[in-house]
Amino acid sequence: MTLLFSELFLLLLTLTTVQSLAQSDDLARRLFDAHPTYRETSLTQRRFKQKDILPLIAKRQGNALYQIEKVGESFEGRTIQMLKVGTGKKKVLLWTQMHGDEPTATMASFDIFNFLEGKNDGFDSFRKELLANTTLYFVPMLNPDGAERYQRRTVQGIDMNRDAAARQTPEGVILKGLVDKLKPDYGFNLHDQSPRYSAGRSPKVATISFLATSYDYELSVNKVRERSMQLIVGMNKVLQNYIPGQVARYADDHEPRGFGDNVQKWGTTLVLIESGGYVGDPEKQYIRKLNFMAILSALGTISDNSLTKENREKYYDIPENGRWVYDLVVRNATVKQAGKSFTVDFGINRNEVSYSNATKFFYYSKIEDFGDLHPQYGSQEIDATGLTVEKGKVYPTTYKNVTEVSKLNALDLLKQGYTYVRLASDSNTRALGLYFTTTPLHILRSGQAAPSGTPGLGNTATFILKKEGKVKYAVINGFVHDLDKFSAEKGQGIVE
């Protein structure tokens, strides 16, 4: 009789867990599908500044749903605000952009605010339960001085996420003060990471990475940290439906200066979320959507306590972040040097360069590695088997300015092996320094020497690939142009 009761209890527990997980997946799917309805339309690209979000906070001042509080000022005197919503016993503190150039979750936070203000859309019961069971404290853009410059560190030059112990930044003092005052049960430390991290040793970039931060060097797991792992396991399950194989986790080495590690040590269940890369999403609008869905889904499991049904050991099944992906890999290219031939791979990365007061950027691409890259992958790859790498030629005509160059037939020049065009000495672009052009050519200012020799390590990624004396591909500033399927719209030229 006792055995029968035990078996029945286990069956009911299993059925309840399965039902709970099914409901979680259904909620996540509905949130994902509904995101366009709640997407904050004033934030369309990631290089925004505090002045762009202040009106979004100000318009909520009279809304009874929120309590809005000034919690301090940045080093340069910018006001830092916190939005409180909900009345429940479970307190959740969420902060974004402690690194000024990591804005994805800031965008998602304002999408979440729009969602919380919704009604009669099929989510009323979820919202009611969430706001009755939790109190959410949002601090969007904790580092507004860094965001102003689109830089990681504060204007003092300090990495705020390494300032939990010394608290040399006013922004770090603010965050520690909030943790002390609110004593949150849960915390979300929301970041962006390099778009070139891989999910384990794989060709897939890590679109979302997690960390259940360690509070000691022994990597101990108490109830506080266990809940972090369970939250992450649940979010990973949801995300696998949308980015299969593209979720990773950081190695959980203890960082005694880190806010995540210390907040966990101070008794708050802390989840660190990093938004990485997704091919074809340079402004991270799809990743923003994933943040919206995953964070709301996680808050739902906190609200109904279903997170405790997750197996924490599944946390370790998530592959660690790796460094196995380049933006472009050119494989098996033939190089001729000193009368000899050999075959190599090129690993190329496209790096962002800010301009227009850091509100915009262009790419400047370099050859980051050269040789045998078979363990690495490219988000884009070219099989250059049978193709020979050559430095492109400099076109003999000199032009006054970039506008004149833009009128050239770039395809004709590239077919002839010309990748470089030179500007006259009176060009007005010199003051701009490194700059860009939408024309798929590499423009040299007067006095700028053209590269010599075989393209190699550290060079700007501009070269041609020939087959039997005919140019098949032109790589201009790290962007590939197939001359048989040429489209000048791909542009991304460079001015040096």
Residue-wise pLDDT for 128-144, tens only, equals 999 999 999 999 999 99
Residue 285 has pLDDT above 70, yes or no: yes
pLDDT of residue 7: 62
For residues 335 and 323, give the distance between their C-alpha atoms in angstroms, rounded to a whole number.
26
Token digits for 160? 């705020």
Span 157-189, pLDDT tens digits: 999 999 999 999 999 999 999 999 999 999 999
For residues 216 and 261, give the distance between their C-alpha atoms in angstroms, rounded to a whole number.
8
The two counts, helices (H) then strands (E), for the chain are 11, 23
- Could you list the beta-strand ranges (E) of 413-462: 418-423, 435-437, 442-444
Phi and psi (nearest 5°) for 477? Answer: 55, 40
CATH class belonging to 13-322:
alpha beta
Taking residues 265-282, report their average pLDDT.
97
pLDDT band at residue 11 under the 50/70/90 scheme:
low
- Residue spans per domain, the chain: 13-322, 326-495
Is there a contact between 78 and 145 (Cβ–Cβ < 8 Å)? yes
Task: Please report, rounded to a whole number, the percentage of residues in the chain having pLDDT higher than 90.
Answer: 89
Is there a contact between 111 and 284 (Cβ–Cβ < 8 Å)? no
pLDDT of residue 25: 87
Residue 18 or residue 414, greater confidence: 414
Q: How far is CA 169 from CA 76, 165, 462, in A?
A: 11, 11, 42
pLDDT band at residue 448 under the 50/70/90 scheme:
confident
Is there a contact between 267 and 213 (Cβ–Cβ < 8 Å)? no
pLDDT of residue 17: 46
Q: Which amino acid is at 304?
A: D
For residues 125 and 464, give the distance between their C-alpha atoms in angstroms, rounded to a whole number.
60
Residue 440 has pLDDT above 80, yes or no: yes
Rounded to 5°, the CA angle 153-159-162 comes to: 165
Residue 2 has pLDDT above 70, yes or no: no
pLDDT of residue 18: 45
Residues 6+ apart with CB under 8 A from 432: 495
Please count the residues of the chain: 496
326-495, CATH topology level? Urease, subunit C; domain 1 (2.30.40)
Taking residues 209-238, report their average pLDDT.
98
pLDDT of residue 10: 53
pLDDT of residue 426: 58
Q: How far is CA 242 from CA 45, 294, 315, in A?
A: 22, 11, 18
pLDDT of residue 425: 76
Query: How confident is the prediction for the chain on average, in pLDDT?
Result: 94
Angle at which helix 223-239 crosses helix 285-304, to 10 degrees, equals 130
For residues 254 and 213, give the distance between their C-alpha atoms in angstroms, rounded to a whole number.
7
For residues 202 and 358, give the distance between their C-alpha atoms in angstroms, rounded to a whole number.
33
pLDDT of residue 446: 86
Residue 329 has pLDDT above 80, yes or no: yes
List the one residue out of 421, 420, 419, 414 whose CA is nearest residue 470. Answer: 414
Half-sphere exposure of 141 (CA within 13 A, CB side): 31
Span 424-437, pLDDT tens digits: 975 566 667 899 99
pLDDT of residue 476: 97
Task: Please report, rounded to a whole number, the percentage of residues in the chain having pLDDT higher than 70.
Answer: 94
Token digits for 386? 């049978």
Half-sphere exposure of 58 (CA within 13 A, CB side): 7
pLDDT of residue 433: 83
Is there a contact between 476 and 441 (Cβ–Cβ < 8 Å)? yes
Strand-pair partners of 271: 188
For residues 397 and 246, give the distance between their C-alpha atoms in angstroms, rounded to a whole number.
48
442-466 exposure pattern, b = at least 16 Cβ within 10 A, e = fewer: bbbbeeeeebeebbbeebbbbbbbb
Residue 20 has pLDDT above 60, yes or no: no
For residues 276 and 210, give the distance between their C-alpha atoms in angstroms, rounded to a whole number.
11
Is there a contact between 347 and 370 (Cβ–Cβ < 8 Å)? yes
Span 340-383, pLDDT tens digits: 999 999 999 999 999 999 999 999 999 999 999 999 999 999 99
- In this prediction the pTM is 0.92
Do β-strands 66-73 and 79-86 pair in parallel, antiparallel, or remain unpaired?
Answer: antiparallel
Do β-strands 442-444 and 418-423 pair in parallel, antiparallel, or remain unpaired?
Answer: parallel
pLDDT of residue 22: 56
Angle at which helix 104-116 crosses helix 50-58, to 10 degrees, equals 10
